[in-house]
A = this chain, B = another copy of it.
Amino acid sequence: MIRVAILGATGYTARELIQLLLRHGEVEITAITTRQEDQPDLGSVHPQLAGRLDLPLENLSLEQVAERADCVFSCLPHAASAESVDQILTAGLRVIDFSADFRLHDAAVYEKWYGVDHRAPGRLAEAVYGLPEFFREDIRGAQLVANPGCHPTTAVLAVAPLLKAGLVAADDIIIDSKTGVSGGGRTPQPVFHFPECNESIAPYAVGNHRHTPEIDQVLSDVGGQATQVVFTPHLVPMDRGILATIYARPVGNASENDMMAQLRQQYAAEPFVRVVDHLPATKNTTDTNFCDVSVRVVRGRVLLMSSLDNLIKGASGAAVQNFNLMYGFDETTGLL
């Protein structure tokens, strides 16, 4: 039994994480923390979890957390997370961080896109980017795993294999991404007010979404050459799910079949990436840890499509997958 603590347990990713961990079998949740509220009942914060976990939400110090847990899932917002994670690592625990604080190699890039100073730049070198499909071995031994962003995972799983194989050009990648509203978190805002976003689709954060440098970095790492993408997210009137439609320029003479074959080869042994013949739809991956990918060639342009559940494979499911790797459990434990 691994004892785990969840920091910042009032949001959607924490709710999903608790549901997955309750099904895991090898985990004991020993602490769930909040800074915002005065120790409310978990069932009143997450009515779906009423009666599921007999543990109070607490405003614990990191020392208290360190005494109770072996591993920490941090669902704190960026900046706040870096500070807490630094101390928890110092106390000797292993950490899976949901925030963006340890995803980018370069603190300067982080500070430019997130507009805040990095509070633990000394930890960046040891952080491992938690995308098992490309960094599995590093994850196994990591003390600190930076759990990927939801848009980056969706896009990268589709385009990285072709980029790595040299079948598409690194300098002409357009990612048109569509996400459900839970991706915006739990804080009420006009843009997420039901009568505003229901029955509507719209782009947002055009040209300045913070997942942009993360996608650039991972594709550069995997593909072996500097890559900058055009990334446009859209808000879709549904709870959960991301679909990325990706336009790339082919290199060489690979056919659509060759590209499908490349995807299949890349993911032959992967438990959670399905290379599908049909066109992906977010519904097929809702409430699962699967990512469905496919590829078409249209008028000389490569068109990749990828779908996943932003709260599972795009967040909490990926975290559990990373956890399984870190502790030597079967990678699918709690996830099927």
Q: Which residues of A contact B (CB under 8 A)?
A: 12, 22-23, 44, 47-48, 50-52, 174, 176, 178, 180-182, 184, 186-190, 192-204, 206-207, 228-230, 232, 234, 236-241, 243, 245, 247, 274, 276, 278-288, 290, 292, 296-299, 301, 303, 305, 307, 336
Q: Is the CB of B207 within 8 A of A195?
A: no
Which chain B residues border A305 with CB–CB below 8 Å? 203, 206
- The answer to whether B193 touches A190 (Cβ under 8 A) is no
Q: How distant is the Cα of A207 from the Cα of B245 in the complex, in angstroms?
A: 13
A-B contact pairs, 25 of them (CB 8 A): A12-B195, A174-B247, A178-B178, A181-B194, A188-B188, A193-B194, A194-B239, A196-B283, A199-B238, A199-B239, A199-B286, A200-B238, A200-B282, A200-B283, A201-B236, A201-B281, A206-B303, A207-B298, A229-B299, A230-B247, A230-B301, A232-B245, A234-B245, A236-B236, A236-B237
Contacts of A278 in B (CB 8 A): 44, 47
Q: Tell which of B189, B238, B274, B298 touches A232, judged by Cβ atoms closer than 8 Å.
A: B298
For A298, the chain B residues whose CB sits under 8 A away are: 206-207, 230, 232
Q: Please pick, from B202, B207, B241, the residue contacting A281 in the complex, using a CB distance under 8 A.
A: B202
Contact A195-B206, Cβ < 8 Å, known A276-B47, A284-B47, A336-B22: no
Q: Which residues of B contact A187 (CB under 8 A)?
A: 193
- A279 close to B206 (CB less than 8 A): yes
Q: Which of B182, B194, B207, B307 contacts A197 (CB 8 A)?
A: B194
Give Cα A189 to B200, complex, Å: 19
Asked if A186 and B176 make an inter-chain contact with CB atoms under 8 angstroms apart, the answer reads no
CA distance A288 to B281 in the complex (A): 23
Q: Are B279 and A200 in contact (CB under 8 A)?
A: no
Task: Determine if A50 and B292 form an interchain contact, defined as CB atoms under 8 angstroms apart.
Answer: yes
Number of copies: 4
Docked-complex contact B274 and A50, CB < 8 angstroms:
yes
> Quick check: B194 and A232 within 8 Å, CB to CB?
no
Q: Are B186 and A188 in contact (CB under 8 A)?
A: no
A247 contacts which chain B residues (CB < 8 A)? Answer: 174, 176, 230, 247
Which of A240, A245, A296 is most buried by chain B, counting CB atoms within 10 A of its CB?
A: A245
| Contact B296–A207 (Cβ < 8 Å) | yes
Cβ of A263 to closest chain B Cβ, rounded Å? 14
Pair A195/B239 contact, Cβ less than 8 Å: yes
Contacts A174-B301, A193-B192, A197-B194; A286 near B48 (Cβ below 8 A): yes
Closest Cβ of chain B: how far from A113's Cβ, in Å?
Answer: 14
Query: How far in angstroms is the closest Cβ of chain B from A7?
Result: 21
CB neighbours (8 Å) of A292 from chain B are 47, 50
- State how many angstroms separate the Cβ of A26 from the closest Cβ of chain B: 14
With a cutoff of 8 Å between Cβ atoms, the chain B residues found around residue A189 in the complex are 188
Alpha-carbon distance between A283 and B290 when the two chains are bound, in angstroms: 23
- Closest CB-CB distance, A310 to chain B, in whole Å? 11
Q: Which of B180, B230, B234, B299 contacts A207 (CB 8 A)?
A: B299
